[in-house]
A and B are shown apart, each in its own frame.
Chain A
Amino acid sequence: MVAGLTKGERQLALLISIAVAFIGLAMAGAGQGGAFGVHGFIVMAFGIGTIFVVISGYFLPEPGDERLAQYYDDPIKFGIVVSMVWAVFGMFIGDWVAWLLAYPEMTFDAGWASFGRLRPVHTTAVIFGFVGNALIATSFQVVQRTSRARLPDQLSPWFVLIGYNLFCVIAVSGYFMGLTQSKEYAEPEWYADLWLVVVWVVYFLLYLRTLMRRREPHIYVANWYYLAFILVVAILHIVNNLAVPISFGHAKSYSAFSGVQDAMTQWWYGHNAVAFFLTAGFLAMLYYYLPKRAGRPIYSYRMSIVGFWGITFFYMWVGSHHLHYTALPLWVQNLGMTFSLMLLVPSWIAAANALLTLNGAWHKVRTDATLRFMMVAAVF
């Protein structure tokens, strides 16, 4: 981990870790033993942990220039492993929560174990922990290979992955303590949201810098989807999480919006978090790994372009279909429903494109388990 960093990067990593530890200390002090203080201690422990990791590798020999002849894949391996850990944890909680519906008394007479607190643990661990880490890790692999360019530095991918997981840990541990904004898939409180913005900006810049270093004249379509994922999630996250904390020493905040505006903003976010995490991100994977594995170029590159703009444009309109027959004005409901139907077109384009790519490679599907999984995924 640390062995791959240059001297300067190790120093910077140390500085960042120390800063994080101090932020944790300040939070712990301001929180005065409340849940906010507990989070302060978690942040501080995280910072101290990374300080130790950096120091333990600080005097290792520096990587030479020969590293530049290879893609930088260490953080990717880390990201995939962490993603799997989140998957096991998140799905275990999901199973547990399902049992709670059959045996509701299984809460040990305590708040942390009730259905209402555990449900967001499950959704966050799976969507953000499992899927988020997988998306970030694969995006690093795909962008390097389709751009024929190495990541511009060694520190920022680590910062993005580790920082992102700090966000996930804060989010999930908060739910056990009852810290939530109650907005589905945007439950973490204001300070976790701010931290995610920092991480996301670094991620975006890292991605963009890699793209700018590319030698290929054309940006491959998988990168379009990854970029849309990064950008749109940033827009959604910032707008939906606008809130006023009651003080800088408390976890609680009040949403800037209320009532019908809040509902529309929330489902604009909620639906598109699904769209650009679970759809755009995975289409990005599909457009790289499927042709690669099948050994055939994508059936129609042009169809993938039409599909891209279709999804980017249509998806953002459909959130209001979560609010049918509510106090939301009828015209917004109608608009959302119409676009939901139109969205069938780009979705089917993507699925058809994937399946048609396999034409001529069906003999591989018969024997290749990986390809078989991809085929089934495309069908769904």
Chain B
Amino acid sequence: MSFDHGMLVGFAKSYGLFYLLGLSVAVLIYTYWPSNRARFDRAAKSVLNDEDGPWQ
């Protein structure tokens, strides 16, 4: 199978758009999925806990 310029450009222009949309949707869904809220809140606060040192 040979790639020619037109084909690659066409691929970039068509599939590229759907990839962009798909990625955005996936990221948004993941980010706003309700059950993830607790984990994110915990993570956001985690840096504030005073460090007691690494686990051993």
Residue numbers in A under 8 Å from B30 (CB-CB): 305
Q: A165 vs B54: C-alpha distance in the bound complex, in angstroms?
A: 28
Set A145, A291, A298, A305: member contacting B51, Cβ < 8 A:
A145
How far does the Cβ of A57 sit from chain B's closest Cβ, in whole Å? 24
Smallest CB separation, B22 vs chain A (Å): 11
Contact A297 B9 (CB under 8 A): no
Please give, as numbers and ranges, the residues of chain A lying within 8 Å of B44 by CB-CB distance.
291, 297-298, 301
Report how far A216 CA is from B12 CA in the complex, Å: 39
A148 to B43, CA, bound (A): 12
A contacts with B, residue count (CB < 8 A): 33
Question: A209: CB under 8 A from chain B?
Answer: no
Shortest Cβ distance from residue B19 to the other chain A in the assembled complex, whole angstroms: 9
Which residue from chain B places its CB closest to the CB of A151 in the assembled complex? B54
Residues A291 and B42 in contact, CB atoms below 8 Å apart: no
Q: Say whether B27 contacts A309, CB under 8 Å.
A: yes
CA distance A67 to B55 in the complex (A): 12
A331 on interface, CB distance cutoff 8 Å: yes
CB-based contact A144/B54 at 8 Å: yes
Residues on A with beta carbons closer than 8 Å to the beta carbon of B4: none
Within 8 A of A (CB), among B19-56: 20, 23, 27-28, 30-32, 39-48, 51, 53-56
Name which of A68-76, A131-139, A237-245, A250-258 contacts chain B.
A68-76
Q: Is the CB of B47 within 8 A of A215?
A: no
> What's the tally of chain B residues with a CB closer than 8 Å to chain A?
25
The chain B residue sitting closest to A65, CB to CB, is: B56
Residue of B nearest to A210 (CB): B54
- Bound complex: CA A68 to CA B48 (Å): 22
Question: Chain A: which residue is nearest B45 at the CB level?
Answer: A297
**Given A216-B46, A291-B48, A305-B27, also A69-B54 (CB < 8 A):** yes
Q: With an 8 A cutoff between CB atoms, is A217 at the interface?
A: yes
Complex: chain B residue closest to A287, CB-CB: B47
Q: Establish whether residues B42 and A215, one from each chain, have CB atoms under 8 Å apart when the complex forms.
A: no
**Contact between A218 and B39 (Cβ–Cβ < 8 Å)?**
yes
Please tell me if the beta carbons of B31 and A148 are within 8 angstroms of each other in the complex.
Answer: no
Query: Which of A70, A146, A313, A335 contacts B46 (CB under 8 A)?
Result: A146
With CB as the reference atom, state the residue of chain B lying closest to A314.
Answer: B20
Q: Chain A residues with Cβ under 8 A from B12's Cβ?
A: 335
In the assembled complex, A63 has its CB within 8 A of some CB on chain B: no
Is A149 interfacial (CB 8 A cutoff)? yes
B32 touches A291 (CB 8 A): no
Which residue of A68, A70, A220, A313 is within 8 Å of B43 (Cβ)? A220
Q: For A288, A302, A313, which residue has the most chain B Cβ atoms within 10 angstroms?
A: A302
Known contacts A68-B56, A217-B39, A218-B42; is A145 also within 8 Å of B23 by CB? no
User: When chains A and B are docked, how far (Å) is the Cα of A70 from the Cα of B2?
Assistant: 57
CA distance A248 to B41 in the complex (A): 55
B39 touches A292 (CB 8 A): no
Tell me the smallest distance from the CB of A374 to a CB of chain B, in Å.
14
Contact A220 B41, beta carbon cutoff 8 Å: no
B31 in contact with A302 (CB, 8 Å):
yes
A221 within 8 A of B: yes
Q: How far is the CA of A292 from the CA of B46 in the complex (A)?
A: 10
| Chain A residues, CB < 8 A from B46 | 146, 216, 218, 220
A306 within 8 A of B: yes
| Cα distance, A215 to B55, chains bound together (Å) | 7
Does A111 sit at the interface, judged by CB under 8 A? no
Between A150, A215, A301, the greatest number of chain B beta carbons within 10 A of the residue's beta carbon is seen for A301
Task: Choose among A68, A291, A302, A331 the residue that contacts B40 (Cβ–Cβ < 8 A).
Answer: A302
Q: Which residues of A contact B28 (CB under 8 A)?
A: 306
CA distance A306 to B24 in the complex (A): 8
Q: B16 CB to closest chain A CB, in angstroms?
A: 8
Q: Which of B41, B43, B51 contacts A71 (CB 8 A)?
A: B51
Q: How far is the CA of A220 from the CA of B56 in the complex (A)?
A: 20
For residue A147, which residue of chain B has the nearest CB?
A: B54
Closest 8 CB pairs of A and B: A297-B44, A150-B54, A301-B40, A301-B44, A309-B27, A302-B31, A218-B43, A215-B55
